[in-house]
Amino acid sequence: MSSPSWHPDPFHRHELRWWDGTRWSDNVMDQGVAAIDPVQVQTPGMTWPTPSISTPNTPPPTMVMPTTPAPAPKKNTGLVIGGVAAVAALGIGAFVVLGGDDDSKQTTTTSTVVVATTALPATTTIAATTTTVVTTTTTPPTTLPAAANADALIAAMPTDADTPADWSRYSEPELAAEPQSGVGWGFCGGDNAAARALASGSVAQVYGPSWDLPDGGWFGVDAYSFPTAADAAAYIEATDLQVNGCMTDPVSDTWAESDIDLFEDGFGDEAVWNVVEANMGYFDDTADADSMLRIIFDQSLSVSYEGTDYSVTFTENSRTEKHGRVVLFFWLYGQWDYQGWGGPPDWEYMPVDTELDAAAAAVRGILLANLTASGAL
C-alpha cells in the first residue's frame, strides 16, 4: 500500500500509526487522540511489517446441487424465531444511523539549505555557494476521518462479479433490523447484533448480501462501522461475553409449525416445536484481521406428532473480524440431522469452519479493498 494513511500500529504500542507511503512514521493515535512515539532504530536482520490487504483464496471443491429437492421435509431459508422473521437474531442484521465523511489529510513542503565550500589557497577569497534541496513530506491528520456511513458500507459489498460463478445470490444488502432484546432475538436471550453495536457507539450497520452455496449452505456477510478501533473491539468483547452467557443454562423456546413451515403443506400445521439454543464463542488466531471471534450457534428443534418424533438442527458458524474501525461478520448457515422423515433431504447441510473460512476468503479481499478506497479503513 503506497498511499499515506492510518493503520493499526505494527509495533502494538498504540491503536494506530501513520504510514507515510514508504515507511512507518513517529505519529500515533489512540482513541482519536494524536501523539508522537518515535519508531525505534531497526536492528540488523529485522524487518518491519507494511500495511496490506488480504486477497481471496480459492474456495474448496463443492458438491453439485440436486435440481429437485426432496418433497419433504421443507427447507427453511428465512429463519423464524418467536413467530417473527428473525435472521437478525443470529447476529445478522442491521439498524442504521447515518454518519458523515470527512478527509482531513494535508500536505506540507519543507526546504533545507546546504552550504558547500571549496578549499582554496589562503590568499584567495572564499565564495560561498548554496544548494537548496526541497523535500516533500505528508503530515498525518491529527483527527480521524468520520467513520463510514451506511452508503459506504453498502458500496463496499461484493457484487456477483466478485464471487465464484457457482454461488447463487439470495439477498441484497439491507438496513432492516432494529435493536431488539430477549429470547428469540439475541444470543442467550440478550441483545441482538444491532443493539450490541449501538451500545458500542456504532455509526452504521449493514446486513447482507447473502448467497446460496452449491453444497446446500447459506453464506453472508454484515458490516458495522465505529468511530474508533477501541469501539469496534468493545463490540466484539460484548458479543463474546453474551454468546458464552448460557453455556451451562441453555435457552428454551417454542415455535409454531405454521411459522417455520418444516412439514409438507397440509401436514402438522398445528404442531409446536420445542427449541433449545446451544452456542459458544472463542477468540482464534488469524492473519486476516486485527482480531477474530468464532461463534458456533445451534438450535435443536423437536416435536412429537401423530406418534412420530421429529427433530432437526439449525446451525450457524460465524467469524466476527475487526479491521480497524470496521467489524465484518461472516456467517455460514445450514440445517442438518433430520430425524423422523424417513431420511435426510438432498439439501441437508452442516456448516463447518473450514468451509466458512474458504467462503470468507473469497470475498474478504474485495471488501477490504473497497473499504480502504472509500476511506472507511
230 and 128 in a common domain:
no
| Spatial CA neighbour of 80 closest among 258, 212, 236 | 258
In percent, the amount of the chain with pLDDT more than 90 equals 52
Which residues, 6+ apart, have CB-to-CB distance to 152 below 8 Å?
101, 204, 225, 371, 374, 375, 376
Average pLDDT over residues 124-131: 47
Inter-residue contact 41 to 32 (CB < 8 Å): no
19-70 pLDDT per residue, tens? 777 778 888 887 667 788 887 644 444 445 555 443 333 333 333 333 333 3
Contact 187, 222 (CB under 8 A): no
Q: Residue 241: CA atoms inside 13 Å, Cβ hemisphere, count? A: 9
Do 207 and 310 fall within a single domain? yes
State percent of the chain over pLDDT 70. 70
Residues 161 and 36 in one domain: no
Helices (H) and strands (E) in the chain, counts: 5, 16
In total, how many domains does the chain have? 2
Question: pLDDT tens across 319-370, in order?
Answer: 999 999 999 999 999 999 999 998 888 889 999 999 999 999 999 999 999 9
The model's pLDDT over 207-239, given as tens digits with 9 standing for 90+, comes to: 989 999 998 899 999 999 999 999 999 999 999
Amino acid 61: pLDDT: 35
| Domain co-membership, 227 together with 361 | yes
Pull the grid cell for residue 50: 507494511
59 falls within a domain: no
Query: Are 215 and 322 found together in one domain?
Result: yes
Angstrom distance (rounded) from CA 326 to CA 324 = 6
- Inside any domain, residue 49: no
Asked whether residue 54 is domain-assigned, the answer is no
For every residue of 113-168, DSSP letters joined together read EEEE-----TTSPPPPEEEEEEEEEEEPPSSPPPPP-HHHHHHHS--GGGS-TT-E
296 confidence band (pLDDT: 50, 70, 90): very high
* Predicted pLDDT of residue 85: 35
Q: Comparing C-alpha atoms, which of 195, 191, 203 is closest to residue 231?
A: 203
Report yes or no: 46 and 58 within 8 Å, Cβ to Cβ.
no
Query: pLDDT at position 313, please?
Result: 96
Are residues 27 and 171 located together in one domain of the fold? no
Has residue 189 got a pLDDT over 80?
yes
Please provide the DSSP assignment of 30-64 as one string: ETTEEEE-PPPPPPTT----------PPPPPP-PP
Q: How many CB atoms lie within 10 A of CB 247?
A: 12
**212, 121: one domain:** no
CATH of residue 354: 3.40.1000.70
Last residue of a domain, one of 119, 139, 159: 139
> 329 and 185 share a domain?
yes
In a domain, 278, yes or no: yes
What is the β-pairing status of strands 326-339 and 80-81? unpaired
56 or 144: which leads in pLDDT: 144
Domain hosting residue 32, numbered range: 5-40+111-139
Q: Is the domain of 119 the same as that of 87?
A: no
Query: Hey, what's the cell of 154?
Result: 453498502
What whole-number distance in Å separates Cα of residue 219 and Cα of residue 322? 19
Please give the C-alpha separations between residue 187 and each of 6, 329, 336, in angstroms, as whole numbers: 34, 15, 20
pTM for the model stands at 0.66
Query: How much is the mean pLDDT over the chain?
Result: 77
List the beta bridge partners of residue 205: 224
- Domain assignment present for residue 125? The answer is yes
Based on the domain organization, do 272 and 170 belong to the same domain? yes
In a domain? residue 76 = no
Q: In whole angstroms, what is the distance from residue 297 CA to residue 275 CA?
A: 13
- pLDDT for 22: 77
